[in-house]
Structure 1
Amino acid sequence: MSGEQGYRVWAVPGLPEVQDGDDLAKLIAAAEPALADGDVLLVTSKIVSKAEGRVVRADDREAAIDAETVRVVARRGALRIVENRQGLIMAAAGVDASNTPSGTVLLLPEDPDASARAIRDGLRDALGVEVGVVVTDTFGRPWRAGLTDVAIGAAGVRVLDDLRGGTDAYGNPLSATVVATADELAAAGDLVKGKAAGLPVAVVRGLAHVVTAPSEGSDGTGGSDGSRDGASALVRGARDDMFRLGTSEAVRLAVTQRRTVRAFSDEPVDPGAVRRAVAAAVTAPAPHHTTPWRFVLLESQESRTRLLDAMRDAWIADLRRDGKSEESIAKRVRRGDVLRNAPYLVVPCLVMDGSHTYGDARRDGAEREMFVVATGAGVQNFLVALAGERLGSAWVSSTMFCRDVVREVLALPQGWDPMGAVAVGHAAEEPRERGAREVEGFIEVR
């Protein structure tokens, strides 16, 4: 029976309360001995967790959530949306205090895809059938009210149906359509299992075309290395996730994920992304309601090369006046390669328009310092916004040492003070993990 002709979904009655160490395949086979080739089993993750001993003592559920959390994506009051150890982004890391004895919580299966494979293999041994298995859990979804079941583990199921390259009923090419088949199966099973009916397993019959042969990868790709088997193929990677930083809570993540990038790929930079980052930069606080920021965007290779060559010549002249050896000079000049190798440069400038003049060195010096601090705040906004655009950056101070040269080459007004240069581009490699800094070392309380 093909999917076009229809399919049936029913819940499996008669399953006992699952205990640590139970063989789920044997329990399911005993409760539903008429399973047939091509059926798909939808198994609630709770009973998988119980069978695998993922019930833990936890008088403090929050501590259990902390232990299962890789990063906090968003927080509102007590509710946390986090990325958990399985790579899933969900509420409370999947830690569940329902349907488990008081004083305990259920953790998600350690490896839901492996759990699905074990159930599939066990049903083959017990009943001689080739079925697909989907391990399901309940998710909320951005921009949509209500909960639904999705696939967190799978075996023997084409979890994604890639329609790209085909055409629709009108002959239009399909260029972006990839259907999350395993999630659709999980949601169908939830309709008959229910949340409180004590029916943790459902069967779908009539969709044999989504069940893979044993020789294929669990995700139906036919891959042999297993690297994208099962429901792991449904997890969108960080590089492709346009909404990874999407809430006010994520601003903190943007700040912490901003890194100094010193090696860039050849991928071009979207000028629109840089302009959006400038728009964020000019929201920084500034004295006297002024706008002390200007951003010079060097979008052409010719303008970048002309500026960097002039800066290099000025730097070499300074180093020779300092008595540095030619070897030392060459080594120092090479440090500027981060700017020369970047596909895009930005020169942030300070302008003192609107500043006050007091005629007293102390107060005039403090006035300039206020404007310098405001410019730094604008540049910080700029760097963080670039990180939100998935662009790497490096803020290099070199233009501050040859401001007259920079102004002349870029034809800038005399009152514009270059405050370094920002190399912008796509990082050539993933940044290293940043070492933890104990915040108490930077705090004094009075």
Structure 2
Amino acid sequence: MTGARDDTTGATGTARAADPAGPAGDAVPEYRVWALAGLPEVQQGDDLAKLIAAAGPGLADGDVVIVTSKIVSKAEGRLVEASDREAAIDAETVRVVARRGSLRIVENRQGLVMAAAGVDASNTPAGTVLLLPEDPDASARAIRAGLRDTLGVNVGVVVTDTFGRPWRAGLTDVTIGAAGVRVLDDLRGGVDAHGNPLVATVVATADELASAGDLVKGKAAGLPVAVVRGLGHLVAGAADDGEGARALVRDAASDMFRLGTSEAVREAVTLRRTVRAFTGEPVDPAAVRRAVAAAVTAPAPHHTTPWRFVLLESEESRVRLLDAMRDAWIADLRKDGKSEESVAKRVRRGDVLRNAPYLVVPCLVMDGSHTYGDPRRDAAEREMFVVATGAGVQNLLVALAGEQLGSAWVSSTMFCRDVVREALALPPDWDPMGAVAVGKAAEEPRARAERDPEGFIEVR
């Protein structure tokens, strides 16, 4: 990037390869980027397109105009009175992703995940804050149409804001609104210079334009608009505004990192639902092992490890266990005097285990427990280990939900522990604590009824 400050155009720069020509003498692609000087302080109701046209009358077809969202917000009347910035952030927040001290990373009403919902209290009068544009794509379309009407040119428009990014230090400008610009360049299906197929390469072209513009606009130079020239292939025809910057926002289903630090556990617990119908899709054993790794972090008495998890990965092992349990259950039901119809109906309820492609049998072991010789204290000792095992199973279920696996914890193995131990060749001191059916949910679980936590609290 080369260039110097120019009193007419503001900061300028040119990007090109080191050699002005390729190996065969062909011209190497290049572009020029500069900031527009001379824009006045923007006020509510100002026509941004006319202000930009006055500052840059030489705009040409194929240029991309990079506009800082702050002046868009000011023109659209998004400067609001707010003596409490935190309240303004609350009003713009859909969900809190992460929190550290007073800093909040949130998803805002535009679907963007960013610090403080984009609420800006800098360079605004005391007692006011500046909100992001209500619809940044619509703002970009309006500026583009206005420049076409005023100057007769077909340009692309990008509206930008400043973001921090996970895993990377520092801030950069990204696109939050766009019109007439190819926001994503999908290279999948092509090949690289060595002929290797490109299977996952989708370039965020609009964000690269935003960053290029920020290099000459700066954060404190008072230059809110930049122009990129030489990339006309990224600008659509005059009648095509394109898909807008909304296409850059991942939806929840494709966002592998959706859960933030302040909501990961809560969200995973919410996702953990009892699933009773599974698809036939196989379960990844590695995913279950990762869930077990979470399970064994549960608290336990006396620094013990009271959990064991028996993973039934083969159909043969699952059938052998479930057949043995079914026979024992039928015998118990008949002993209780149940009719054959009632027996058959109850046995069918156990199909949730038989239909699951994967089973986990959590077991309790009392290794490290204390014996007091006092029935009351010995009973309490066992209860501590049972509670610890339950905590481990809950961790397992939550972690499975995080792996996008459904589960159902069924108590049946607790009623025929000897049968289970024999079918699975388990040590005599392993006590099965139910069974967990695991698999991909065949349908969306029913909505969980809301529970007011105050109904479960007593304060003393």
With the length of structure 2 as denominator, give the TM-score of the two structures: 0.86
Indicate the SS of the match to 2:383. helix
Query: Residue in 2 aligned with 1:394?
Result: 408
Once the two structures are superposed, what CA deviation does each residue of 1:223-251 show, in whole Å capped at 9, x if it has no partner? Answer: xxxxxx22222222333333334647633
Contact 1:74 1:250 in 2 (8 A): no
Match of 2:383 among 369, 374, 383: 369
Indicate the SS of the match to 1:244. coil
| TM-fit CA distance, 1:105 | 1.4
Structure 2 matches for 1:371-386, cutoff 5 A? 371-386=385-400
Tell me how far apart the structure 2 counterparts of residues 117 and 392 of structure 1 sit (CA, whole Å).
43
Contact 1:245 1:388 in 2 (8 A): no
Tell me how far apart the structure 1 counterparts of residues 232 and 250 of structure 2 sit (CA, whole Å).
26
Tell me how far apart the structure 2 counterparts of residues 261 and 197 of structure 1 sit (CA, whole Å).
57
| TM-fit CA distance, 1:441 | 2.5
- Whether 1:258 and 2:282 are equivalent positions in the alignment is no
| TM-fit CA distance, 1:266 | 4.1
Query: Residue in 2 aligned with 1:339?
Result: 353
Match of 2:75 among 51, 58, 63: 51
1:213 aligned partner, one-letter code:
G
2:129 aligned partner, one-letter code:
V
Query: Residue in 2 aligned with 1:443?
Result: 457
| TM-fit CA distance, 1:295 | 0.4
Query: Residue in 2 aligned with 1:89?
Result: 113
Match of 1:167 among 191, 196, 204: 191
With the length of structure 1 as denominator, give the TM-score of the two structures: 0.89
Once the two structures are superposed, what CA deviation does each residue of 1:12-33 show, in whole Å capped at 9, x if it has no partner? Answer: 2232333333333333233323
Tell me how far apart the structure 1 counterparts of residues 356 and 295 of structure 2 sit (CA, whole Å).
21
2:210 aligned partner, one-letter code:
A
Contact 2:32 2:228 in 1 (8 A): yes
| TM-fit CA distance, 1:379 | 1.0
| TM-fit CA distance, 1:145 | 1.4
Tell me how far apart the structure 1 counterparts of residues 69 and 338 of structure 2 sit (CA, whole Å).
67
Structure 2 matches for 1:295-334, cutoff 5 A? 295-324=309-338, 328-334=342-348
1:244 aligned partner, one-letter code:
R
Match of 1:203 among 206, 227, 236: 227
Question: Number of paired residues?
Answer: 436
Distance change >3 Å, CA 57–CA 255, structure 1 → 2? same
| TM-fit CA distance, 1:104 | 1.5
Tell me how far apart the structure 2 counterparts of residues 36 and 356 of structure 1 sit (CA, whole Å).
83
Tell me how far apart the structure 2 counterparts of residues 314 and 389 of structure 1 sit (CA, whole Å).
34
Query: Residue in 2 aligned with 1:184?
Result: 208
Tell me how far apart the structure 2 counterparts of residues 19 and 432 of structure 1 sit (CA, whole Å).
50
Query: Residue in 1 aligned with 2:177?
Result: 153
Distance change >3 Å, CA 39–CA 385, structure 1 → 2? same
Structure 2 matches for 1:405-420, cutoff 5 A? 405-420=419-434
Contact 1:391 1:425 in 2 (8 A): yes
Tell me how far apart the structure 1 counterparts of residues 95 and 359 of structure 2 sit (CA, whole Å).
32
Once the two structures are superposed, what CA deviation does each residue of 1:351-376 show, in whole Å capped at 9, x if it has no partner? Answer: 11222222332122111101100101
2:225 aligned partner, one-letter code:
V
2:120 aligned partner, one-letter code:
D
Once the two structures are superposed, what CA deviation does each residue of 1:240-287 show, in whole Å capped at 9, x if it has no partner? Answer: 333334647633443344333334344432211211211121121111
Contact 2:141 2:241 in 1 (8 A): no
Once the two structures are superposed, what CA deviation does each residue of 1:23-54 show, in whole Å capped at 9, x if it has no partner? Answer: 33333233323322211111111122223332
Tell me how far apart the structure 2 counterparts of residues 105 and 435 of structure 1 sit (CA, whole Å).
38
Indicate the SS of the match to 2:228. strand
Match of 1:103 among 117, 122, 127: 127
Tell me how far apart the structure 2 counterparts of residues 23 and 44 of structure 1 sit (CA, whole Å).
15
Query: Residue in 2 aligned with 1:222?
Result: none
Query: Residue in 1 aligned with 2:246?
Result: 232
Contact 2:78 2:130 in 1 (8 A): yes
Tell me how far apart the structure 2 counterparts of residues 379 and 72 of structure 1 sit (CA, whole Å).
28
Tell me how far apart the structure 1 counterparts of residues 443 and 135 of structure 2 sit (CA, whole Å).
28
Structure index of larger Rg: 2
- Whether 1:20 and 2:44 are equivalent positions in the alignment is yes
* Identity fraction in percent: 86
Contact 2:188 2:199 in 1 (8 A): yes
Structure 2 matches for 1:267-278, cutoff 5 A? 267-278=281-292
Segments of 5+ residues of structure 1 without an aligned counterpart are: 219-228
Structure 1 stretch 242-251 or stretch 349-358: which is displaced more?
242-251
1:121 aligned partner, one-letter code:
A
Contact 1:40 1:205 in 2 (8 A): yes
| TM-fit CA distance, 1:403 | 2.2
Tell me how far apart the structure 2 counterparts of residues 359 and 103 of structure 1 sit (CA, whole Å).
70
Contact 1:41 1:132 in 2 (8 A): yes
Query: Residue in 2 aligned with 1:221?
Result: none
| TM-fit CA distance, 1:394 | 2.2
